Amino acid sequence: MDAPLLPTASGSSSKKNTTASKFRKLRFLGELVKQGWSRLWHGQASQYTYPFSFWPHPSSWDIEPDTHEWDELLVLNRKRRDNAANEEAQREWRERQSTWPRVKPLQQGVDESQWQGVKILGHGSYGSGTLYVKIDDNGYVEDRMVVKEIWNDPCQWRSHLPREIAIHRLIDESRGNGDPAFSHLPKHRGHRLMMRKRKFRLFTEVCSGGSLYDATKALFEQWERWYKHLEDATDSANATDEERAKDEEPEHIPEAYIWYVFGSLVDACLVLQRGGKERRQKGWKPITHCDIYSANVFLCKDGAAGKEKWPRPVLADFGRAFYELPESENPRFAANPWEFVFSVPALAYAPEQQPLDGSKAVDRDPPVRLDEKTDVFGIGRVMWSLITHLHFNDGVARDSRIHSLDFLYMDRTRDIEEVLTGTFFTAAKHYSQDLKDLVRQCLKREQNSRPSLGQLSQSIRENDGKVSAQDGWDSKLKILSDLDQWEEGKVFRAENGSAHAGQAEESAAG
């Protein structure tokens, strides 16, 4: 049985969300009373207990693993990350590197004597991601995976599992049908629930190219400096033509690769919505991702999808993704969008994802349900970033001065046509009007005005081949290379460069 509708834990903690939180609680209590009378009538009222009835029964919970060394590493990692100039914090981190061989993935029923952690890939408020490797008897990397550890919200469950795990399982159950679009979604290798710790671990494939955000970061920083240089030169009344042109414009990403990323993200979302790219699979529950941006797009260097030299984009992180439960026909008593919108304004995301608490950021009555066109907006946001060569935490900006940015939905009276004009963000001039027009459509305020995923897929196919492929991928982007040292078949070396064992050093020398 799926989870009943529960009030979110975060809703009651924010003054801005008082109204929404009360509404959710009243709705939940109403459902509880309605279902409770039914269960009482059938002698089942005792099922409403804590732990929640949709959790595994406590008698089946595993013995909690000892994670104290891992927990200490996370604390030190945050400390050294947040205090980069603090030598003591950096020294403490270096001294604890000897802990890694004892830090295990914690897979159930697996001999992990040859597994160890090697690198924390990310660490935020809701969890962490870490690279683990398996080392054979000769000191070579035999296998590797990413382990994501997430804090467990009891409201986010489906089919007796945390929602993120349930979504991974749904995807992998359909992956064997041979549809190449599944290659743009990550493979998962299992999970482990740690119920008493209110955590779970998710084991997934490694995308050694890192995220699209990281791969473009260095190039986009060059472009941001270039934009500032152009504005400063223009502002200087005494600047000569030579001074205004003293720097050459940075390289730009080939358009063919942008189309490739565009199509890959659309394919990934079509799988989420239909269970396959071309048609909806029988019984499939449409999944909305709700968190598409460049840091959640990863790059696998395996030449998939017929693009031999191009990293394969993979849309990951289903932490905000959902599929719907059966619910009331009254839109005011529906989980979607109430349970899936943000609790505070997040203007980088689609307008319909903004808070439903009376905020002036949006005005929607009745509320707009989140669906595939919510993800279309997210895809448009990634494409805007690739075309302008800019990363902004506040999302899409109109063409405006870099020193006084004009973000898209701060003023709802302005027109979408002011986006991607190339007036200030001149990288856009390198790209076709067809590409920019399609991205503008994805970014429209009104959900109904955006194209569907199917329409996007058709438009992308129509433009396939119109643009010269060039090399598509070369020095213009920076693939992260620090994960390459832990590829399968290579001699294992810790992050500090030391070999794992004398056997490996001898093998390497030989």
pLDDT digits (tens, 9 = 90+) for 139-166: 999 999 999 999 877 778 888 899 999 9
Examine the pLDDT at 119 and tell me if it is beyond 50: yes
- CATH annotation of 212-463: 1.10.510.10
Highest mean pLDDT: which of 88-97, 202-211, 287-296, 493-502?
A: 287-296
The CATH class of the 68-204 domain is alpha beta
For residue 58, what pLDDT is reported?
84
CA distance 285 to 160: 16
The answer to whether the beta carbons of residues 391 and 220 sit under 8 Å apart is yes
439-455: average pLDDT: 94
How sure is the predictor about 63, in pLDDT bands with cuts at 50, 70 and 90?
A: confident
CA distance 438 to 71: 46
Upstream peptide bond of 366 is cis (omega within 30 degrees of 0): yes
For residue 4, what pLDDT is reported?
39
For residue 489, what pLDDT is reported?
85
For residue 106, what pLDDT is reported?
94
| Side-chain-facing half-sphere of 75: CA atoms under 13 Å | 8
What is the SS3 string spanning 33-84?
Answer: HHHHHHHHHCCCHHHCCCCCCCCCCHHHCCCCCCCHHHHHHHHHHHHHHHCC
pLDDT digits (tens, 9 = 90+) for 364-392: 667 889 999 999 999 999 999 999 999 98
pLDDT digits (tens, 9 = 90+) for 223-233: 999 988 887 77
For residue 428, what pLDDT is reported?
94
User: In this structure, is the dihedral angle defined by the CA atoms of residues 201, 204, 209 and 214, taken in order, positive or negative?
Assistant: negative
CB atoms within 10 A of CB 406: 14
Element (H, E) at 193: strand 188-194
pLDDT digits (tens, 9 = 90+) for 186-203: 999 999 999 888 899 999
Query: Domain-by-domain residue ranges, the chain?
Result: 11-54, 68-204, 212-463
452-472: average pLDDT: 81
In single-letter form, the type of residue at position 228 comes to K
The answer to whether the beta carbons of residues 99 and 66 sit under 8 Å apart is no
User: In this structure, is the dihedral angle defined by the CA atoms of residues 219, 223, 228 and 233, taken in order, positive or negative?
Assistant: positive
CA distance 171 to 188: 9
Closest to 334 measured CA to CA, from 286, 375, 370, 287: 370
For residue 172, what pLDDT is reported?
92
More confident residue, 313 or 11: 313
